[in-house]
Chains A and B, each alone.
Chain A
């Protein structure tokens, strides 16, 4: 059983502030309890299939000029720099 502290710690790492977290924790616990059904699946010897893409199918690896000023969509920027909060 996953406890409340573990879930709260993950929320903190995800930078999610759980002010009233009891309802979230209970629901997440219920979902994780349901996920325990995965323990019954006979998949121990199964290999994980990774999707592979042939390099020949990818677009050419060349620089394409993007002609729109994406910075204008941000409110917190100065000249060509994004303005971010300070790191402590």
Chain B
């Protein structure tokens, strides 16, 4: 049994009776117990997975209606709520938090008979890009365990890359799906803002974050997007997916399409030469596929990281204010405490990066400083959105390396906050402007992955996935080391 098969191949194998859901789930759990002590993709594994698998097998055997997922094991980033189970956001503050309701994306997966195999590790409250800020210890890159897997959805990326499950759901606020997808050599899609419901996603920066799939193939991302996208009455920011089938004509190709190569994203400070070489190679590949590639400049990209951290810190300061130990937080008796000191005591459980972003989030929109920071950041966001709108009048896609560098060693960047922020340089634009973007595994250099990012206009996921599929079909990458 090949645990590395794609979702679509898994479904065909189940339909053909090559193995049962229970057999595959059992093998996946065995794989987790073999490798996760080292990789630490999972914070918790679902004790009911085998029971769920047997129930789906029973439905299959008795010719009942079976959901489209046919029991495929899917891991879930631990900032997405499932009723009755822990959702920790990899924080000590929520160490014992039991979600009182289930997120819309989980309800949709359950209704299609996916098996939630476990909850995956992340940087605390999704603030980070390496999982080094998880309160429960970092995840490790399956390509080389001395290197970070990216983040914040690092556990999700590792779980798919290391064949511990077939697919995962992550969340992407500034690249948190695409960055670990690039670092772990899996496909990661950040959908258009609003295409996927955020109901049940614990908020960090709600005006720009999105839930999205992380998968072994582009087709699998299209398959999962078919399931999780669409209007949700519990999330007023959702947009209609118009019942699109994102798998339909996914192999249409990109002949005659116009691609903009974002100049600012192909020569940022610190860009690795290996990543640049891979990007130039991908550009040649796109041209061979019949696309017309042209350099374009987006002036505001230079300021996007500063704008992104200003806006997200401000929203984090507001969103994390609820962890006051009265409604949420770790529990201790309130008697004997004065109001402010009680809340301060609760917040002492936050990790260092969350504390820093909350302080930033209090500072940048404050009286006397908002004009210099927050207002300017919002104006950069507006101008960048206008620039993006303008370029998509001429181009079908924009491309860049997903991340300017390859995976780095643990501790290498953690003490330099600016160099850390710059890792997000190429990914934050899609979040600030709300457009969809995908990372496609493209190359393995020095034993570590490199991903290529493709961006498209709002709600153009169908076309975006066609381009990603075309690129994916040109590469033949090695298997992840066992």
Contacts and interface: CB of A to CB of B under 8 A. Distances in A.
Do A and B associate with each other?
Answer: yes
Interface of A: 2, 6-7, 10-11, 13-19, 23-24, 27-28, 30-32, 34-35, 37-44, 46-49, 51, 53, 57-59, 68, 70, 73-76, 82-88
Contacts of A17: 344-345, 347-348
Residue among A10, A38, A49 with the highest chain B CB neighbour number at 10 A: A38
Given A28-B363, A59-B233, A87 B382 contact: no
Contact of B382 (A13, A47, A83): A47
Contacts of B377: 38
B339 A35 contact: no
Contacts of A70: 100
Given A17-B344, A30-B418, A32-B363, A41 B98 contact: no
Nearest to B98: A73
A18 B364 CA distance: 18
B393 interface: no
Contacts of B356: 24, 27-28, 31
Given A7-B359, A34-B421, A73-B100, A41 B352 contact: no
Nearest to A25: B359
A16 B237 CA distance: 31
A57 B194 CA distance: 13
Given A7-B363, A84-B326, A84-B334, A59 B310 contact: no
A15 B372 contact: no
Nearest to A17: B344
Residue among B98, B237, B360 with the highest chain A CB neighbour number at 10 A: B360
11 contacts: A15-B344, A16-B347, A31-B418, A32-B363, A34-B306, A35-B309, A35-B310, A38-B373, A43-B376, A59-B233, A85-B338
Nearest to B233: A59
Contacts of A86: 337-339
B376 A41 contact: yes
Contacts of B479: none
Given A10-B366, A28-B356, 15 more contacts: A17-B348, A28-B359, A30-B418, A34-B306, A39-B372, A43-B380, A43-B383, A46-B379, A46-B380, A46-B383, A58-B236, A68-B100, A68-B101, A75-B331, A86-B337
B228 to A, nearest CB: 19
B186 to A, nearest CB: 30
B463 to A, nearest CB: 24
Interface string B88-102: 000000000010110
A62 to B, nearest CB: 11
Given A41-B300, A76-B331, A32 B421 contact: no
Contacts of B306: 34-35, 37-38
The SS class assigned to the B binding surface is helix
Interface in B379-410: 379-383, 385
Interface residues of B, number: 61
A24 B417 contact: no
B343 interface: yes
B404 to A, nearest CB: 16
B359 A46 contact: no
B358 to A, nearest CB: 5
B257 interface: no
Given A82-B327, A88-B338, A76 B366 contact: no
Contacts of B339: 84-88
Contacts of A6: 363
B317 interface: yes
Residue among A6, A19, A75 with the highest chain B CB neighbour number at 10 A: A75
Contacts of A23: 352
